[in-house]
Amino acid sequence: MAIGSGIRTLVAAGVAIGGAAAGFLLGADINAVVVAAVAGLAAVLIAASGEAPESVPRPPTRSRPEQPSVQALIDALAGPVLVTAGTRVACANEAARTLLGAHIVGQDVRIAIRHPAAAERLIADPAEDAGSTTHLVGIGTREQRWEMRVRPLGDERRLVQLVDETQLYAAERMRVDFVANASHELRTPLASLRGFAETLREEAGEDPQLRNRFLGIMLDETRRMQRLIDELISLSRIEAGKFRAPDTTVALDGLVREVRGALVDLHGGRGADLVLEVAEVPAVKGDRAQLSQLIHNLVGNAMAYGRPGTPVRVELEPMEDMVRLRVTDQGEGIPAKHLPRLTERFYRVDAGRSRSVGGTGLGLSIVRHIVERHRGRLDIESTVGVGTTVTVILPKADDGAVS
């Protein structure tokens, strides 16, 4: 009897593991595969624990490794996992005890997971468990979002897994916001172009002065859309290659002087305000075009938002195994509450002023992604009424050719 039971246990365990492996090979979600495997093994262990009556003598067997307990199995999982017996928490892994409290074992599961949707699900018919999920908000912290997965183990027992979906939700919100902001930024100049075109056709076509004024505005709006589209394409390319480290070396000192020459006649003739303090620095490993874009964006922002007649200081200096680029303006400054969001796409402290100086709301987002691709660091400091300093620190390159 005991030998037959052991064989059945081993066969059932093999079926559970084999089924999970097959699911993984067929493309199933890895979390679901792991939970299915643990659920299968837990069910086998629970069933096996009561199979052989005490009155039946067991023949002597050779020693073998003990089967892992249900507690050991769920402890091996990284996310919060509980096993319930009826409405009570039978056991919980460390992640679950950390999230819900060390006291949850033995408690009513509706008290352990304090959420109406979870309570309704966990007292429902176990036959409804297979393949269904429940989304929970506010467990742990108010912003955290979880997916609760429940698998039946038999004998009124269930395996409950909580999967943290906070980052996935944040990424989805960023995608939705990006599409909405991009649509808005393109719709505004398009509306202006359409309005002026209709006015020219119907009323102002015979007035040369008015016609030239409208055509000038239309040309400015067209250029604004072109800048926006160019920067969206640039941002997309940078993001697509952010996990591929650059493989060429760039001399930043020469690049800074090159950018200064390109900007000296722009931004209302503020080229005279540019002050360069460029020390001899080692080359950095980088993409020359992207680093040029980074410097253009930082220096261009400082010239646009700094007060006319005040210096825009560009400093370049070595730091052990790094190179530091610092751009400082003397402008109105930025309130501290805005600093954490400055590198978000389309985020503006003052939308009206940003548009008036030709900003698209993507410049610092592009800078951040370039710095990330180059394995560097970006810091922004600002004092209201004094000005803003943006610092970029990049690792120096090994010896090699400089592009």
pLDDT in tens, 141-197: 888 888 988 888 887 888 888 998 888 877 777 777 777 777 777 777 788 788 878
Q: In the structure encoding, which two tokens stand for residue 323, read together? A: 């190179």
Residue type, 28: A
Lowest model confidence (mean pLDDT) among 41-50, 117-126, 240-249, 293-302:
41-50
Of the candidates 388, 372, 252, 385, the residue with the CA atom closest to the CA atom of residue 313: 388
Q: Which residue has the higher pLDDT, 304 or 9?
A: 304
With vertex at residue 192, the alpha carbon angle to CA 211 and CA 301, rounded to the nearest 5 degrees, is 105
* Cα gap 149→121, rounded to integer Å: 10
Mean pLDDT confidence for 120-139: 75
Q: Which residues pair with 152 in a beta bridge?
A: 158
8 A C-beta contact, residue 70 and residue 91: yes
Instruction: State yes or no: pLDDT of 203 exceeds 80.
Output: no
pLDDT of residue 386: 93
Q: Which of 106-110, 186-190, 388-392 has the highest mean pLDDT?
A: 388-392
Mean pLDDT of the chain: 78
With vertex at residue 17, the alpha carbon angle to CA 15 and CA 23, rounded to the nearest 5 degrees, is 100
8 A C-beta contact, residue 118 and residue 96: no
pLDDT category, 25, cuts 50, 70, 90? very low
pLDDT category, 357, cuts 50, 70, 90? low
pLDDT category, 3, cuts 50, 70, 90? very low
pLDDT of residue 243: 82
pTM of the model: 0.57
Of the candidates 300, 303, 307, the residue with the CA atom closest to the CA atom of residue 270: 303
For the stretch 316-325, pLDDT in tens is 999 888 999 9
Q: Give CA separation, 19 vs 60, 158, 212, 381, in Å.
A: 32, 19, 74, 55
Q: Which of 22-31, 170-179, 193-202 has the highest mean pLDDT?
A: 193-202
* Cα gap 90→83, rounded to integer Å: 6
Dihedral over Cα of 39, 40, 41, 43: its sign: positive
Report which DSSP code applies to 331: B
3-state DSSP helix/strand/coil percent for the chain, to nearest 5? 50, 20, 30
For the stretch 37-95, pLDDT in tens is 555 555 545 555 544 434 444 555 554 555 567 788 888 888 899 998 888 898 999 98
